Amino acid sequence: MSHFAHRCGIHDSVREAACLEAARQIEASGIERVRTGWCDAHGMLRGKTLMAHAAIKALREGVGMVGTLMLKDTGDRTAWKVFEPGGADELPGFAGAANLMLLPDPASFTALPWQPGTAALRCQPWFADGTPVPLDTRRVLQNALARLAEAGYGLKTGLEVELHIYRITDTTPQLDPKQAGWPGLPPAVEMIHPGYNLQAEAMSDMADEPLLIVQRTAQALGLPLQSLEIELGPSQVEAVFDPTDALTAADQMVLFRNSVRQALRRAGYHATFMCRPPFPHIMSSGWHLHQSLVDLRTGANACMRAASAPDTTRTDARHTLSDAGAHWLAGLLAHARGMTALCTPTINGFARFRPNALAPQSVIWGQDNRGAMLRVVGAAGDSATRIENRVGEPAANPYLYMAAQIHAGLDGLAHQLQPPPASDDPYGQGGEQIPTSLSEGLAALQADDALTHGLGADVVRYFCRLKQSEIDRHAQAEDKTDFERREYFART
């Protein structure tokens, strides 16, 4: 008998075996509840908690979800008037808050280490007729990777993520019904370390309890955590992960953010991936995305060259990078302004782009220079040679962040673009500047033909409308700090 997964065209013997294994694990482990979650446009997990028997059924039949969940801005306002005639004409299948279906990936079954008897399944949304929802951001990355594979490459990425962790001192502001709002307030907090003592051992010991929770949560989930470090800012830390393929890394980023927030909250801590929490003397958090091309025929690092190109110096990309790597670098530079809003998608995040703050300002690359937007790391003959994009913030949707790299890099490969010489003056005057606001970033994205074609015009239009709703509400807010406290610090 045909079921929903069959009608979607993705169910085969391998998936059926995975469904049987997930059901076995649910029953053998005494799992009572399964959280079925999918990643929205803002990188946040949403979903339903199913009882064990319902979760087993959903593996093949899916579970319904209201379509407007995909149409929410960062404040959970629906950005389209779906109940008005013509209000959702640009979004076929969404009028009237019609139902979508979430279909779990049975291979993603994971027991949650902080909640006994509870597991999670990663899902993707489908239309009720079994056709994929093209606005699903995970599918956007899957489509980008398919295009990259047609060119003979895969993408390997490493996550280097900064965040802030605070100790909760009072939940009254957040949970007092008399102070409820839309969005609501965060809890009252204090710092876990005073900062301004980068990677100090004493600071690590002071913050040991929350860092241990992060470590054990990540490891119990099978995430390839490499290190936890004290960052420069007050209460700021950094998590670094071993590199893996791009889709796996994006999935891991979503799982990491969601999981550590919940595990820390249960222990009395508030974790935020907001770029600049609403306190004085704060240091911005970035998400530095390390990337290298993989030759799909050999599995080798396609950004590495065996020996430096003749007559080149360290200021030449081909001194370090292969020809393909240099084209990829040039593509990232050519589309840097267009991709910025996908890498830094909040109003708050654009305040990070300031001089001498280990954050970029200009569209440049540098040889192992942390002030440049793109940092080339490695050397001829070094299998770890890679490009680090430093423009992202940790609240970004990882699927869109990585898809932007792919479409920009592919354009560089297709047109054999050549990068300019490396810069050793990342905060100098006169170069092309990264957009200085979310509005400017959206305009640059809409004007970028290669990104619009690669991502899809409908995806770009969808993303920009969601972000414009956020911009409009911020402009109307009398207290901009309170807006960011509620919109980002409480929820991001």
pLDDT on residue 165: 98
pLDDT on residue 431: 81
**Tens of each residue's pLDDT in the chain, 492 residues:** 589 999 999 999 999 999 999 999 999 999 999 999 999 999 999 999 999 999 999 999 999 999 999 999 999 999 999 999 988 888 988 888 889 999 999 999 999 999 999 999 999 999 999 999 999 999 999 999 999 999 999 999 999 999 999 999 999 999 999 999 999 999 999 999 999 999 999 999 999 999 999 999 999 999 999 999 999 999 999 999 999 999 999 999 999 999 999 999 999 999 999 999 999 999 999 999 999 999 999 999 999 999 999 999 999 999 999 999 999 999 999 999 999 999 999 999 999 998 877 889 999 999 988 889 999 999 999 999 999 999 999 999 999 999 999 999 999 999 999 999 999 888 888 789 999 999 999 999 999 999 999 999 999 999 999 999 999 999 999 999 999 999 999 988
Residues 32 and 53 in one domain: yes
Last residue of a domain, one of 103, 133, 163: 133
Helix H segments across 415-456?
438-446, 449-455
Last residue of a domain, one of 87, 113, 133: 133
pLDDT on residue 1: 58
DSSP designation for 372? S
> H or E stretch including 407?
helix 398-414
Residues 194 and 318 in one domain: yes
Residue 129: CA atoms inside 13 Å, Cβ hemisphere, count? 5
* CATH number for the domain that contains residue 237: 3.30.590.10
Domain count, the chain: 2
Residues 20 and 167 in one domain: no
Residues 285 and 410 in one domain: yes
* Angular region, 162: left φ>0, alpha ψ -120 to 50, beta rest: beta
Residues 65 and 205 in one domain: no
**Residues 354/361, Cβ–Cβ less than 8 Å:** yes
Q: Which domain holds residue 78?
A: 4-133
Which tokens hold the place of 346?
């909040």
Residues 167 and 204 in one domain: yes
pLDDT on residue 2: 84
Helix H segments across 284-397?
323-334, 336-343
Residue with tokens 């808050």: 97
Q: How far apart are CA 251 and CA 108, in angstroms?
A: 10
pLDDT on residue 369: 87
Residues 117 and 153 in one domain: no
Residues 183 and 246 in one domain: yes
* CATH number for the domain that contains residue 14: 3.10.20.70
Measured distance between the N- and C-terminal CA atoms of the chain, rounded to whole angstroms = 43
Residues 150 and 117 in one domain: no
Is residue 326 one of the residues assigned to a domain? yes
Q: How far apart are CA 127 and CA 132, in angstroms?
A: 6
pLDDT on residue 248: 98
